[in-house]
Structure 1
Amino acid sequence: MVPPDVFREQPVLTGGRVRLEPLDGENGAALVDGYVAMDPVVRRLTGTHQRFTAEVLHEWFATRPDQHDRADWAIVEREGGTVVGECALVDLDPENAAADYRISLRNMALTGRGYGTEATDLVLDYAFDTAGLHRIALQVFAFNVGAQRSYARSGFVREGVWRAHLRWDGEWHDTVLMSVLAEEHARHRAERRAGA
């Protein structure tokens, strides 16, 4: 069990490639244009049918600091200071010390650089070591094999499938369910550091 406002004191998380800053109206503004004119591949990989207006996005980003039952971060490239995406712990279940994870990079040109994997690792360290969560889960579409590999590198384990869960361009696609538990994360992190 964790407090329902466990994310009230959301820290900046720093890695070698990226810095995760609590998402707000200022750093979120860097994402607005990209989300209004969302890369079609990113739209498909995230299953985003909805179209967003700049006004709605500015308002949404500005309200993130007031949401203490979730933790949203801007993913900032450390070298250049560019906001490359955002990630979040959402759907907090305080009674079971569990939450869901999601991440999105602004466009496909930013993939393959390790930003997403490092951001995920930073969030998992925070979720388990600081927030005291027991389980983090996520959903990823079956056709998004690259994301599944990235999540597996961070210790997520495939645990099931929601069949025909997303309809995209007239076809049905499965959703893969993955999760990582606190003790698995600790073991995975120790193995990763021993191999480094």
Structure 2
Amino acid sequence: MIRSEFLAKQPPLKTPRTQLVPIGPRFGPQVRRAASDPEIRRLTGAHRTPDQDQLRQRLETVAGRDDQAEWAIVRGQDASYLGRVALDDLDRANESMTYKISLRGTDVAGQGYGTEAGEAVINFGLGILGLHRIQLAVYAFNERAIKSFSKIGFETEGVLRHALLWDGRWYDQLIMSVLTPGALDQVAEPKQTGVQQDG
């Protein structure tokens, strides 16, 4: 059973070097700057910079929702904004959500901040919310992100071929997921074929 009250009362999360705090309008300038960075747009496949009004509205309305959670990643040492991380697209019937992360830029990439934040969010999703499955999508050229996701338990389960056209080239997108511990030990129900046996 999904404990969605923990989404509505989204708690801050702590990692060895960062604090994950519920995102909101006060992070607007940093979020807009990161979303406009050409390399961040390439990594996320965003062909256009986000609409500023829509982004502002999202930051103003994200708090208190019981179907998603989004945190700002803040470095503990100097309180600087490092990026944002989210659980989105709650599927209550199937106890699953989608994981998303975007760092502020390449200046903080490759230092393990995303891995730390991801581990905290996955533990929250599987351990506190009671999710069965968390999935994500990542472009195949983003090897650093794929390595980070693998470290925190995500496994590749499929490929969307030629999912992104960027600067005249096609790129595949990987679908990855992590399941609650022991999930694959459960016995699946046999499929109903609809064919009746003669008695």
Normalised TM-score (structure 1): 0.87
SS in 1 for 2:158: strand
Q: Which consecutive residues of structure 1, in runs of 5 or more, have no partner in the other structure? A: 186-196
Give 1:3 shift.
5.4
Asked which structure has the greater CA Rg, the reply is 2
Are 1:153 and 2:147 an aligned pair?
A: no
Tell me the equivalent position of 2:70: 72
Q: Distance in 2 between matches of 1:33 and 1:163?
A: 30
Deviations 1:33-54 (A, max 9, x none): 332xx22111111101122244
Q: Distance in 2 between matches of 1:96 and 1:22?
A: 25
Normalised TM-score (structure 2): 0.86
Q: Which consecutive residues of structure 2, in runs of 5 or more, have no partner in the other structure? A: 184-199
> What is the one-letter code of the residue matched to 1:172?
W
Q: Distance in 1 between matches of 2:86 and 2:73?
A: 10
Q: Distance in 1 between matches of 2:9 and 2:74?
A: 19
* Alpha carbons 1:167, 1:173 under 8 Å: kept: yes
Identity of aligned residues (%): 39
Give 1:30 shift.
2.9
Across the aligned residues of Structure 1 and Structure 2, the Cα RMSD in angstroms comes to 1.7
Total equivalences in the alignment: 183
Of Structure 1 and Structure 2, the greater helix share is in: 1
Are 1:107 and 2:71 an aligned pair?
A: no
Q: Distance in 1 between matches of 2:52 and 2:41?
A: 16
4+ residue runs over 6 A deviation: none
Tell me the equivalent position of 2:93: 95
Are 1:131 and 2:129 an aligned pair?
A: yes
Tell me the equivalent position of 2:20: 20
